[in-house]
Copies of this chain bind each other. A is one copy, B any other.
Amino acid sequence: GQLFKVAVLPGDGIGPEVMAEALKVLDAIEKRHEVKFERTHANVGGAGIDLEGRALPETTVNICKAADAILFGSVGGPKWETLPPDEQPERGALLPLRKIFGLYANLRPAIIFPSLTSASSLKEEVIAGGFDILVIRELTGGIYFSQPKGIDGAGRDRVGVDTMRYSVPEIERIAHVAFQAAQKRGKKVCSIDKANVLSTSVLWREIVINIAKEYPDVELSHMYVDNAAMQLVRWPKQFDVILCENMFGDILSDEAAMLTGSLGMLPSASLAEGTFGMYEPSGGSAPDIAGQGIANPIAQILSAGMMLRYSFGMVEAADAIDNAVAKVLDQGYRTRDIYQEKAGEKLVNTKEIGDAIIANL
């Protein structure tokens, strides 16, 4: 059998609780397939700060370096909100992890399950039958990481500066990810830019058009970011794969995720070149419900599924996880966040829905 090394970073809030369910699912996969997941736990976020003095301790980085993939929970909470931005759990852990491991391709599905359309703040008629968008966000370039960045001068003479920079190879590699993803789905890529204002966007659009020629089976369209923010609200079903630079992807992937109405259901993958990747729920650490055993572990479980799919090439096992989640929802199992007091729904806790998913594997 095969052996995969997983760095397990549960983090803060509901992170450890939902991670426990994802690890149970990995146990179940081990029993069904010729595979072993060797897991090493490490501190990150607020837990990193409290136990080792920083959001991303060096031990954690080393554990990740020794691993084939990172399974990440969620970080942050009121306790650490007064720290300087650089040291806070989210920013202080996520940005360095992305940079150190070259996690340039962020895949964020925004899927609305047909049985959960009523959780969305959009009208039934707008989302009838659900929708299925995959946002592909460039994650290691653009205004997040380019130099110069900083505040110069003193007092009222201070000036803040950030730089958005993209090179051709940076655009090419993320465009390939988008077109290849589209080939396996709805065969449409909508590339987002602001080419009427930004030079990076002019280059972005030109390069994306070039790369598209290698994927004649995929239909390419372009949309300005302001229009995309509108179109997502107006008619989300028009989208299949949405391709964005880093900042636009941050904004639009969150908007798309919220449109589903079930943040607790959405996984994400951040991929490096090769097979290394980091996998984490799209939602936050939900400190308000932490420790009560009632959080929704589905996003964490689906994140483990993405890890099997993208880092370990275990497509069948990944499909099995996705299908088990869909079945459990069809069977009416609901954690509190998605419970709507409808006939056929069974209100369950974190462990119970985890068990139900495993029973359906």
Contacts and interface: CB of A to CB of B under 8 A. Distances in A.
Interface stretch (A22-30, A56-64, A154-162): A154-162
A199 B255 contact: no
A258 B232 CA distance: 10
Interface stretch (A42-50, A190-198, A290-298, A299-307): A190-198
A200 interface: yes
Contacts of A234: 121, 258
Given A251-B226, A251-B229, A90 B157 contact: no
Interface stretch (A31-39, A143-151, A329-337): A143-151
A149 B199 contact: yes
Contact of A158 (B121, B167, B257): B167
Nearest to A159: B167
Contacts of A163: 161-164
A123 interface: yes
Interface string A274-317: 00000000000000000000000000000000000000000000
A212 interface: no
A347 interface: no
A149 B202 CA distance: 11
Contact of A85 (B151, B160, B196, B247): B196
Binding site secondary structure of chain A? helix
A233 B91 CA distance: 24
A20 interface: no
Contacts of A91: 196-197
A268 interface: no
Nearest to A88: B196
A230 B254 contact: yes
A161 B162 contact: no
Nearest to A226: B254
A322 interface: no
Name the residue in A161, A164, A167, A233 with the highest tally of chain B Cβ atoms < 10 Å from its Cβ.
A233
Contacts of A233: 121-122, 233, 255, 258-259
A247 to B, nearest CB: 8
Contact of A199 (B88, B150, B195, B254): B150
Contact of A122 (B122, B166, B169, B257): B122
B203 A226 contact: no
Interface in A196-248: 196-204, 225-227, 229-235, 247
B157 A168 contact: yes
B161 A165 contact: yes
A126 interface: yes
A169 B122 CA distance: 40
A245 to B, nearest CB: 10
Interface in A61-95: 85, 88, 90-91, 95
22 contacts: A91-B197, A122-B122, A143-B164, A146-B161, A149-B199, A151-B202, A156-B169, A159-B165, A159-B166, A160-B166, A160-B167, A160-B200, A160-B202, A161-B165, A226-B251, A226-B253, A226-B254, A229-B255, A230-B254, A230-B258, A233-B258, A233-B259
